[in-house]
Structure 1
Amino acid sequence: MASENESPYDPKRTGSWLVCKTCGTQFPTDDKHKVTTCFICDDPRQYVPPSGQSFVSLDALRSSGHKNVFTPIAADPERLIAINSQPKVAIGQRAILVRTPQGNVLWDCITLLDDETIAKVKELGGLKAIVISHPHYYSTHLEWARAFDCPVYLAKEDRLWLSQQDRNRQIFITENETHVFGTTVLKLGGHFPGSLVMLFEGRLLIADTFFPTPSGLGNWDADAVGAPRKRPLQMNSFAFMWSYPNMIPLAPDAIIHMWVILKNYEFSSTHGAFPGLDIVKTPAEMKQRVLESMQIQIRYSGHGAHAMLEETIM
C-alpha cells in the first residue's frame, strides 16, 4: 500500500504511472522494477491472462486512440448516463453518472481519464462524489477525485486493496446504509466483504455485487409467432459469485446476508457493471426475481433444505 499522497490533479505527473492492463488499477510509480505484479489480479477473484502480467500507462492510453463514450441508459436517460472506454480498457466496466437534485454522483470508476472526458462531465454538472462498488473498479479513482475536486466513497472492509491513499479524498463507508448526495449506498458484501450497490429513485446500480444472467435479460413476452406467453418457472435472473472470472459461487450464508439488507428496499430496475446489463420491471417483480435467483442458486448448490428457501416477499 502506498504512502498517503495529497497532491492535486496533475496529469503530467501521473500520466506515466503504471496501470495494470488486466484490471486497470493504477500504481504510483513508473518504475517497472518496483511493480512487477498486480496484487488485485493475483487474488482468486481476478486473474492474470495467458500472456502474463503487463502494464500500460494513462499517457499510452490517451495517445493510442482510446476514448470514453457517454451513453444515456434507456430506463432513465436524463438521469443515468453510462461512461465506458472504447476500445475496451482492462475489464471493460462502465461508470454511471447519476444526476441527482443534489448534484452528480459517479457510480464506479473506469481507468481512462482525459481532457475530453473532464470537459464532458463538467458540461453535465461536474461531480459531487464518486462511489465505487468494490476493488476491481478502484482503477484510477484518485485521478478522477482530484480532477473534479470531490471525495470518493469506498467500503472500509476493502481498504487493504488500495494501491494509493489520499486522506483528503477517500471516505470509508462503515454502515450498511449510507446517503451520498441524493443516493442511498447499501453495503451487501459477498463478492468482496464490502461490496456495494447504489439506489437512486428506484434504480438499483449493482455493478457485479450480483450479476444479471442471460435468462434474466431474456424476453419471454411472446413466442416465435407473437402469441403472448409467460416467463417459464425456475429461470434465474442473477448470479451471486465470490469470483466471477473463475466461477466460484457465493456460499448460502453470504447470500442470506445480502437478502436481509436488500429486502427492505424497493427498486424497479437493476443496472449491472457492463453495457447492456439492465433489467426493468415492476418493483414487485424485481424483488421477486432477486429472491428467486438466490433460492435457485442455494437449492442447486446442494442446500435443498435451507431456511432461505422458505423466504417470501412480504
Structure 2
Amino acid sequence: MKEPKFGIGQRCILISSFYGNILWDCITVLDEATVDFIKSRGGLAGIVISHPHYYSRHLAWAKAFGCPVYISSEDAHWTKQPDPLSYRRLIDERTFNIEILPDVRALKLGGHFPGSLVLSYDHHLFVADTLVTVPSALYSKGRPPGTTSFAFMWSIPNMIPLPPKVLFQMWMRVRDVQARVTHGAFVGQEVRDTDGGGPVMQRILESMKIQVRASGWTVEESLQVEEESGRGWDVPEILGEEWP
C-alpha cells in the first residue's frame, strides 16, 4: 500500500516462495525505492492480478522487473495499453486452476468479474475482493452463530450481490484449497483459522449460505452433506432448481 494512502488504499502483496517471488495484484504508484526493495529480494518471477480494478500500470511493473503478468482472458478487454513486448499472459476461459510456480496457483472463481482470480500459496488464500472481507470477519469475541465473514458482490459500491448460481460456481472452484488464512484487498483484512471464528474455508462456505438465505432463497436441509467435510452444496440443487 502507498503511504500516504493513494486511491482507495488498496494493496498489492509480495509473496516470497521457494521458487521465486510473486506480486499479487498491482497498484498504480511505482517508485525507485519500491523497485530497489523488490530487486534486493530477488525480483519478481511474475505478477498475478485478481481483476481489472488492479490493472492500473501493470505493464510498467512488468517492464521494471522483466516478468510476465497473469490476467484472465475474460477481462482482458479492460486493458487499454498496447503490450508490444508481450508481458501479458492470458489465462484462457476454460482454465480455472493454473500453476504460476510449483508452489503457487491461481484459481479463477469469477463472480465480481467474469475472470476474477484468487491465489493459493502455502495455506494462504489471497482473495482481493473476489471474496469481500467484511467487518464481522475481524472479531471473535461474543461471535454468535450465523455471523458472516465474507460477502460476494457483483458491484461493491452499488451493493449488488451475486446470485446463488454464481456462488455455487465459486465454491466448486475453491473448495479443495486447504487455506488457513485469507488476505483481503486492504491492510488488516486477514482472516485466520486461529482467530476464534472457525476454519476459514468453512467460514467461506457458511458466508455463501448466509448470503443465499438473506437473498430470499432456502438451502434445502436434505440436500446438504456433513458440514465438517467442508463440502456442503456438493449436491447442486436449491429450491428444486439445478445449479450448473
* TM-score calculated relative to the size of structure 1: 0.68
Q: 1:115 to 1:218 in 2, by over 3 A?
A: same
Partner of 1:292: 206
Kept in 2, the 8 Å contact 1:94–1:110? The answer is yes
Partner of 1:248: 160
Which one of 137, 144, 166 corresponds to residue 83 of structure 2?
Answer: 166
Secondary structure of the residue aligned to 1:85 is: coil
Return the alpha-carbon distance in structure 1 between the equivalents of residues 223 and 62 of structure 2.
43
Kept in 2, the 8 Å contact 1:299–1:309? The answer is no
Q: 1:241 to 1:287 in 2, by over 3 A?
A: same
User: 1:85-108: per-residue Cα shift (whole Å, max 9, x none)?
Assistant: 112222321000000111100000
Q: 1:158 to 1:236 in 2, by over 3 A?
A: same
Aligned length: 222
Return the alpha-carbon distance in structure 2 between the equivalents of residues 146 and 308 of structure 1.
54
Return the alpha-carbon distance in structure 1 between the equivalents of residues 79 and 160 of structure 2.
23
Return the alpha-carbon distance in structure 1 between the equivalents of residues 107 and 171 of structure 2.
11
Return the alpha-carbon distance in structure 2 between the equivalents of residues 141 and 305 of structure 1.
41
The alpha carbon displacement at 1:179 in A equals 0.6
Partner of 2:47: 130
Partner of 1:201: 122
Secondary structure of the residue aligned to 2:2 is: strand
Kept in 1, the 8 Å contact 2:192–2:199? The answer is no
Partner of 2:10: 93
Secondary structure of the residue aligned to 1:86 is: coil
* TM-score calculated relative to the size of structure 2: 0.86
Question: Which residues in structure 2 correspond to 1:188-267 (within 5 Å)?
Answer: 188-220=109-141, 231-267=143-179
Cα RMSD over matched residues?
A: 1.9
What 5-or-longer segments of structure 1 have no aligned partner? 1-83, 221-228
Return the alpha-carbon distance in structure 1 between the equivalents of residues 223 and 161 of structure 2.
17
Q: 1:262 to 1:199 in 2, by over 3 A?
A: same
The alpha carbon displacement at 1:254 in A equals 0.7
Return the alpha-carbon distance in structure 1 between the equivalents of residues 221 and 70 of structure 2.
34
The alpha carbon displacement at 1:124 in A equals 1.6
Question: Which residues in structure 2 correspond to 1:133-148 (within 5 Å)?
Answer: 133-148=50-65
Secondary structure of the residue aligned to 2:53 is: helix
Return the alpha-carbon distance in structure 1 between the equivalents of residues 19 and 173 of structure 2.
25
Identity among equivalent pairs (%): 48
Return the alpha-carbon distance in structure 1 between the equivalents of residues 97 and 222 of structure 2.
23
Q: 1:208 to 1:308 in 2, by over 3 A?
A: farther
Return the alpha-carbon distance in structure 2 between the equivalents of residues 104 and 265 of structure 1.
21
User: 1:55-99: per-residue Cα shift (whole Å, max 9, x none)?
Assistant: xxxxxxxxxxxxxxxxxxxxxxxxxxxxx1112222321000000
Return the alpha-carbon distance in structure 2 between the equivalents of residues 162 and 106 of structure 1.
18
Is residue 153 from structure 1 mapped to residue 70 from structure 2 by the alignment? Answer: yes
Q: 1:308 to 1:104 in 2, by over 3 A?
A: farther
Q: 1:300 to 1:123 in 2, by over 3 A?
A: same
The alpha carbon displacement at 1:212 in A equals 1.1
Q: 1:309 to 1:203 in 2, by over 3 A?
A: farther
Return the alpha-carbon distance in structure 1 between the equivalents of residues 41 and 34 of structure 2.
11
- In terms of Rg, which structure is larger? 1
Question: Which residues in structure 2 correspond to 1:109-128 (within 5 Å)?
Answer: 109-128=26-45
Partner of 1:302: 216
The alpha carbon displacement at 1:152 in A equals 0.2
User: 1:25-55: per-residue Cα shift (whole Å, max 9, x none)?
Assistant: xxxxxxxxxxxxxxxxxxxxxxxxxxxxxxx
Kept in 2, the 8 Å contact 1:241–1:248? The answer is yes
Kept in 1, the 8 Å contact 2:112–2:155? The answer is yes
Return the alpha-carbon distance in structure 2 between the equivalents of residues 272 and 186 of structure 1.
15
The alpha carbon displacement at 1:306 in A equals 5.8
